[in-house]
């Protein structure tokens, strides 16, 4: 790369670093679910949300293992997760440049690093505390190494370990490995010398996924994570979103029509390595299918898009670079600098326009989370006896902060609720578990979640529990009920 290209890459990493600082204090409630699993694991209580209960509510075991290891060395878990995520995010522009080199050796690869570094969703999720940036790095590394694997007849399949690691970071990780494995198999069919590397690639990925499934079955007795049953197999408990709209909004937020045009140009311009381009596009398509099927995600910033966002932007950069290589010689030196400056300016403007709303939404959510769930958590820690069973739908910050055993009313961390209809779940909570404290989310005196509504409408709940406090959360109120045979601790 030229000196100007190196300057542009360093500038994009600097922009991303600035974005990571701006988004650092934003944290979603789901982050604290992984934190609770990591805390229990570090304390020797196993991979569990509640001590002694075998359920996989955090479907990112490799990320939980990393946080737990940091906790064992005395680090704050949330801080460790944010720093690890930021490190992964900062590596992505560099990996995107390497991926672009594999796709189009003669095009300026720095365009990919520039676009990835300016990505507002990547900066936001880089320091939110979830596994998203590590998963995005594993996928992008897999594509980068996969591009090299498909052009070599011999040698170790370097992409396979990255895709195997992706399976331990997200449930859909094995799905994104499928295009790479099929491409390797297709190559082996036409080149006998590539068969050994293909067998190795399939063995490594299958071994990683098989080890994950064996670990899951040994600990929890199931083949799929509990989040699958809660979110996809039980829509009465967890209403799904519109996957089609999520895909459209994610594409629009990532660049819209210019992004699609750049990706399309990567297929038709000369000088590109089509095997790498097709592999990357197929991987992106697999993620789109996953989003379409699952309905997307409730959090801002297109979290399900971020893992393949570097791949999308790299495809667009390769298309733009091929167009530049074709047209730039006729513009002269001054014309090339003018076009490059205008392109940089337009991408910066788009980055600012995409970043500001995300920063405002995440900041507002985090403030509201601390004012609502934070106040409830502090109140419970001060007024409720340790060991009291808690039932709550937003089972992130409050259970993590209070360390109370918890019934997750959305079923993410409760195997029974994840697999049964709402009425059976209400009987299970009130008659079998009989929590000492129940926190219901209510809007206009009506439950927000299906199970909240059923519990609040039960006569035995009204007889057996009494309201002790109510805390306002911008979207709804958090109403705390105490079982009538229990008493509150004195005020501190």
What is the full per-residue pLDDT of the chain (492 aa) written as tens digits? 677 778 888 999 999 999 999 999 999 999 999 999 999 999 999 999 999 898 999 999 999 999 999 999 999 999 999 999 999 999 999 999 999 998 888 778 889 999 999 999 999 999 999 999 999 999 999 999 999 898 887 778 999 999 999 999 999 999 999 999 999 999 888 777 778 899 999 999 999 999 999 999 999 999 999 989 988 877 888 777 788 899 998 888 888 888 888 888 888 777 788 889 999 999 999 999 999 988 888 888 889 999 999 999 999 998 888 777 777 666 766 776 777 788 788 888 888 888 889 999 999 999 999 999 999 999 999 999 999 999 999 899 999 999 999 999 999 999 999 999 999 999 999 999 999 999 999 887 777 888 999 999 999 999 999 999 999 877 789 999 999 999 988 876
Instruction: Write the CB contacts of 210 (distance below 8 Å, at least 6 apart in sequence).
Output: none
Whether 155 and 55 share a structural domain: yes
pTM of the model: 0.94
Say how far apart CA 463 and CA 325 lie, in whole Å: 76
Whether 95 and 234 share a structural domain: yes
Tokens read off for 48: 């569990």
**183 is a domain residue:** yes
* Rg, C-alpha atoms of the chain: 25
Confidence at residue 492, expressed as pLDDT on a 0 to 100 scale: 65
Say how far apart CA 260 and CA 262 lie, in whole Å: 5
Whether 255 and 177 share a structural domain: yes
**336 is a domain residue:** no
**392 is a domain residue:** yes
Whether 122 and 259 share a structural domain: yes
Q: How far is CA 460 from the centre of its chain?
A: 39
**184 is a domain residue:** yes
Whether 73 and 150 share a structural domain: yes
**338 is a domain residue:** no
Whether 198 and 320 share a structural domain: yes
Whether 61 and 167 share a structural domain: yes
Q: Checking DSSP bridges between strand 437-443 and strand 476-483, what pairing results, if any?
A: antiparallel
Whether 154 and 28 share a structural domain: yes
399: containing domain: 368-483
Confidence at residue 189, expressed as pLDDT on a 0 to 100 scale: 82
Residue 318's nearest CA partner among 287, 276, 351 is 276
**440 is a domain residue:** yes
Whether 304 and 382 share a structural domain: no
Residue 386's nearest CA partner among 407, 373, 405 is 405
Region of 52 please: left (phi>0), alpha (psi -120 to 50) or beta: left
Whether 186 and 284 share a structural domain: yes
Sole residue written with tokens 């950069």: 317
**442 is a domain residue:** yes
Residue 491's nearest CA partner among 370, 379, 371, 363 is 379
Phi, psi at residue 301, to the nearest 5°? 95, 10
Whether 297 and 154 share a structural domain: yes
Confidence at residue 262, expressed as pLDDT on a 0 to 100 scale: 84
Domain count, the chain: 2
Whether 125 and 218 share a structural domain: yes
**455 is a domain residue:** yes
């Amino acid at each position: 790369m030229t000196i100007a290209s190196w300057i542009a890459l360093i500038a994009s990493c600097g922009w991303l670093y600035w974005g990571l600082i701006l988004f650092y204090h934003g944290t979603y409630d789901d982050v604290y679910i992984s934190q609770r699993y990591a805390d229990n694991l570090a304390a020797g209580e196993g991979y569990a949300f509640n001590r002694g209960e075998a359920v996989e509510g955090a479907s990112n075991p490799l990320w939980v293992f990393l946080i737990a290891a940091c906790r064992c060395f005395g680090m704050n878990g949330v801080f460790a997760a944010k720093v690890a995520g930021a490190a992964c995010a900062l590596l992505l522009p560099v990996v995107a440049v390497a991926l672009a080199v594999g796709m189009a050796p003669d095009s300026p690869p720095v365009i990919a690093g520039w676009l990835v570094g300016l990505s507002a969703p990547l900066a936001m999720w880089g320091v939110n505390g979830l596994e998203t940036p590590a998963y995005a790095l594993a996928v992008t590394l897999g594509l980068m190494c996969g591009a090299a694997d498909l052009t070599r007849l011999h040698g170790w399949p370097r992409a396979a370990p990255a895709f195997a690691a992706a399976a331990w970071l997200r449930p859909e990780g094995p799905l994104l490995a499928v295009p790479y494995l099929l491409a390797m198999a297709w190559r082996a069919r036409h080149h006998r010398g590539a068969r050994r590397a293909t067998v190795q690639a399939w063995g490594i990925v299958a071994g990683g996924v098989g080890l994950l499934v064996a670990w899951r079955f040994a600990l929890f007795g199931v083949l799929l994570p509990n989040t699958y049953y809660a979110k996809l197999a039980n829509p009465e408990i967890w209403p799904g979103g519109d996957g089609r709209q999520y895909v459209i909004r994610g594409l629009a937020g990532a660049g819209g029509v210019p992004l699609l045009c750049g990706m399309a140009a990567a297929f038709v311009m000369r000088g590109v390595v089509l095997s790498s381009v097709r592999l990357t596009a197929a991987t992106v398509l697999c993620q789109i299918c996953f989003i379409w099927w699952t309905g997307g995600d409730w959090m801002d910033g297109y979290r399900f898009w971020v893992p393949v966002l570097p791949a999308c932007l790299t495809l667009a950069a390769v298309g733009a670079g091929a167009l530049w290589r074709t047209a730039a010689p006729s513009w002269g030196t001054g014309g090339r600098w003018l076009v490059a400056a205008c392109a940089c300016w337009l991408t910066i403007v788009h980055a600012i326009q995409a970043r500001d709303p995300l920063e405002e939404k995440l900041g507002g959510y985090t403030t509201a989370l601390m004012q609502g769930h934070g106040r409830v958590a502090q109140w419970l820690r001060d007024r409720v006896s340790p060991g009291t069973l808690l039932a709550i739908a937003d089972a992130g910050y409050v259970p993590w902060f209070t360390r109370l055993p918890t019934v997750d009313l959305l079923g993410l961390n409760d195997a029974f609720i994840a697999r049964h209809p709402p009425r059976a779940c209400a009987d299970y909570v009130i008659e079998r578990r009989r929590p000492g404290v129940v926190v219901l989310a209510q809007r206009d005196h009506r439950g927000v979640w299906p199970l909240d509504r059923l519990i609040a409408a039960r006569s035995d709940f009204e007889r057996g529990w009494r309201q002790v406090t109510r805390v306002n959360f911008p979207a709804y109120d958090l109403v705390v009920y105490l079982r009538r045979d229990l008493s509150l601790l004195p005020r501190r």
